[in-house]
Structure 1
């Protein structure tokens, strides 16, 4: 059995050291939802999940020091995204598609989302985007595949955590430590299909 999550992942760093990974999933086995994984400057990892079902699934797939349940709202207006997931308040603007994005965009979707293709390009992904993996463990006896379909850089972002400004947009550095790989170092929005299957 393969669980398929179809949506977007945004990876954002801030000058204060907070790093956030926003998942926005219009289609998934859990229905439409959004969630946020946050690693604070001191390394504390927090999952912001909209429901117990999402928290259980994501928490069994990735590693967190804390899980908080509450509304996670994502609003998209053109290139502007707004994420409301207390204690995180985040806005970002999507920018240009870099060369890697054009390459991803050119691969036919049926091929790009096949587990064998995703596994085959894992080495390439690690070389082109250090820290990024396309295949790894999803916890238990499950494997996870990240099938990236497109990628855009972020032009700007503003983040507040517990009301405190987190500073300017910055690289996602050091890499986040939720699972087997990180998002690209450069803040970005990735169009993605994530596949989780029994090993």
Structure 2
């Protein structure tokens, strides 16, 4: 899954998996990345932003934590086991002090349309450029951009499911009922859709390396 980009000193890594995003009644927004295929092997990670704007990364290993924190922005980084269990439409996530359970509903027209895009086309930077404007207008997200100098990213969605129910706690304290992902999270150049959703995604990150 790893390769090199357009010039010497550019590293391009591809992450193939899922991103789930939920808001909660307490104002905490949670974004889960579940990556069965990645340059680091299978892993999952969690990004949280509290109502006061404090951003936390929960990553399984120092290596994945260092990489993710080098691409996105956080106020705090914690390492420890991050487990994801999928049973049909139900997902269970356990990451340090966070426990999250959510259930997805049926795909709508947009999700079905995304599934129809060939993977070979979806992973190209040109496709991300083509879909960037529609993604902003329809879902309030961006499909390409840069979070840090010397780094650019693009996303290709291959399906979208609404999250219809969720229960979350942090440190044993409930985070409240399922709510929109509002205000937008500020980890990188792109937020998650305002409506809680699970997205099948191919994420490509290209960075300048020494």
Smaller-chain TM-score bracket: over 0.9
Secondary structure, aligned partner of 2:34: strand
In structure 2, the residue matched to 1:143 is 152
TM (norm. structure 2) is: 0.92
Superimposed CA distance per residue, residues 17-37 of structure 1 (whole angstroms, 9 cap, x where no aligned partner): 110000000110111100000
Superimposed CA distance per residue, residues 122-151 of structure 1 (whole angstroms, 9 cap, x where no aligned partner): 111111111x11001142312101111100
In structure 1, the residue matched to 2:203 is 194
Q: CA deviation at 1:198?
A: 3.8
Question: CA–CA distance in 2 between the matches of 1:87 and 1:28?
Answer: 25
Which ranges of 4 or more aligned residues in structure 1 deviate by more than 4 Å?
Answer: none
After TM superposition, the structure 1 = structure 2 runs for residues 97-112 of structure 1, keeping only pairs within 5 Å, are: 97-112=107-122
Superimposed CA distance per residue, residues 24-52 of structure 1 (whole angstroms, 9 cap, x where no aligned partner): 00110111100000001111000001001
RMSD of Structure 2 on Structure 1 (CA)? 1.0
Superimposed CA distance per residue, residues 138-180 of structure 1 (whole angstroms, 9 cap, x where no aligned partner): 4231210111110000110000011111111100000000000
In structure 2, the residue matched to 1:74 is 84
Gaps of 5+ in 1: none
Gaps of 5+ in 2: 5-11
Q: 2:173 aligns with which of 154, 158, 164?
A: 164
Secondary structure, aligned partner of 2:190: coil
In structure 2, the residue matched to 1:174 is 183
